[in-house]
Amino acid sequence: MNKINVMKDIDELTDTYCVDCLVIRDLRKKRGKQGAHLFCIESCTVGEQLQFLGQEIMKFSDK
């Protein structure tokens, strides 16, 4: 896996699950942007995958 593939995976995940996410839309109304973001980081399985892929990109930056 290389950096470009990881970036494509990130784009695919966000386009598929995050762009039209009804949960985020609802949470932004109830908790604001920061509250919705916190949900994504702490509770969302897609958010967990994005964090993992972000860590993979950082490995390429270290080289």
pLDDT averaged over the chain? 94
Total domains in the fold of the chain: 1
Residue 1 is predicted with a pLDDT of: 76
DSSP SS3 for 43: coil
Query: Radius of gyration (Cα) for the chain, nearest Å?
Result: 13
Question: Can you give the residue range of the structural domain that contains 20?
Answer: 3-61
pLDDT at 63: 56
pLDDT for 2-23, tens place per residue?
A: 999 999 999 999 999 999 999 9
Quick one: tokens of 18? Answer: 């995050």
Residue 57, CB half-sphere, CA atoms under 13 Å: how many?
A: 13
pLDDT at 61 over 80: no
Residues 20-28, mean pLDDT to the nearest whole number: 96
| Cβ pair 3, 60 in contact under 8 A | yes
Q: What is the pLDDT of residue 11?
A: 97
